[in-house]
Structure 1
Amino acid sequence: MNAEEHLNSLLSLAGENELVEFKEAKKQFDFNKLGQYFSALSNEANLSNLPHAWLVFGVENKHNVVGTEYIASLARRNDLKREIAEKTTNRLTFINIHEVAHPQGRVLLFEIPAAPQGIPTAWNGHYFGRDGESLGPLNIEEIERIRTQNKAYDWSAAIVNGATLDDLDSTAIEQAKISYAKKNPKQADNLQHWDTKTFLNKAKLTINGAITRTAILLLGKPESSHWINPASTTITWILKDKDGIEKDYEHFSCPLLLSVNDIFNKVRNLKYRYMIEGTLFPEEVDQYDPY
Structure 2
Amino acid sequence: MTSDQEHVHHRVHLVDELRQFSTETEWVEFKNDNHHPQGIGEYISALTNAACLKYKPKAYLLYGIQDKTHEVVGTSFDPYKTKGNQDLLPWITTGLIPNPGFEVFMVDHPGGRVVVFEIDPARGRPVSFYGKSFIRVGSSKTTLKRHPDKEGAIWTRGSDWSAEICKDATLEDLDPEAVAKARSNSLSNIPPRRTRWLSGTISLSLTKLES
Letter in 2 for 1:53: A
2:115 matched to which residue of 1? 108
Residue 133, structure 1, aligned to residue 142, structure 2:
no
Aligned counterpart for 2:48 among listed residues 32, 36, 42 = 42
> 1:20: how far off?
0.9
Native 8 Å contact 1:81 1:93 kept in 2: no
1:71 matched to which residue of 2? 78
- Aligned partners of 1:202 and 1:132: how far apart in 2? 40
> 1:204: how far off?
6.4
- Aligned partners of 1:110 and 1:123: how far apart in 2? 16
Overall identity of the aligned pairs, in %: 31
2:96 matched to which residue of 1? 88
Number of corresponding residues: 155
1:279 matched to which residue of 2? none
1:29 matched to which residue of 2? 35
> 1:15: how far off?
3.1
**Which aligned pairs between 1:233-244 and structure 2 lie closer than 5 A?**
none
Residue 10, structure 1, aligned to residue 18, structure 2:
yes
TM-aligned CA distance change 1:141 to 1:65, over 3 Å: same
TM-aligned CA distance change 1:145 to 1:153, over 3 Å: farther
1:98 matched to which residue of 2? 105
Gaps of 5+ in 1: 160-200, 206-291
TM-score, scaled to structure 2? 0.64
- Aligned partners of 2:142 and 2:90: how far apart in 1? 24
Q: Helix, strand or coil: the match of 2:39?
A: helix
TM-aligned CA distance change 1:130 to 1:202, over 3 Å: closer
1:119 matched to which residue of 2? 125
TM-aligned CA distance change 1:88 to 1:72, over 3 Å: closer
Structure 1 or 2: larger helix share?
2
- Aligned partners of 1:112 and 1:125: how far apart in 2? 19
1:185-214, Cα deviation, whole Å (9 max, x unpaired): xxxxxxxxxxxxxxxx99968xxxxxxxxx
- Aligned partners of 1:143 and 1:127: how far apart in 2? 9
TM-score, scaled to structure 1? 0.48
- Aligned partners of 2:108 and 2:96: how far apart in 1? 30
Letter in 2 for 1:129: I
Native 8 Å contact 1:3 1:98 kept in 2: no
> 1:29: how far off?
1.4
> 1:154: how far off?
4.8
- Aligned partners of 1:111 and 1:101: how far apart in 2? 16
1:21-76, Cα deviation, whole Å (9 max, x unpaired): 11011xx6111111110000000000111111111100111111111111165x87
Could you say what the CA RMSD is over the residues aligned between the two structures, in angstroms? 3.0
TM-aligned CA distance change 1:36 to 1:126, over 3 Å: same
- Aligned partners of 2:45 and 2:79: how far apart in 1? 23
Native 8 Å contact 1:41 1:54 kept in 2: yes
- Aligned partners of 1:102 and 1:154: how far apart in 2? 41
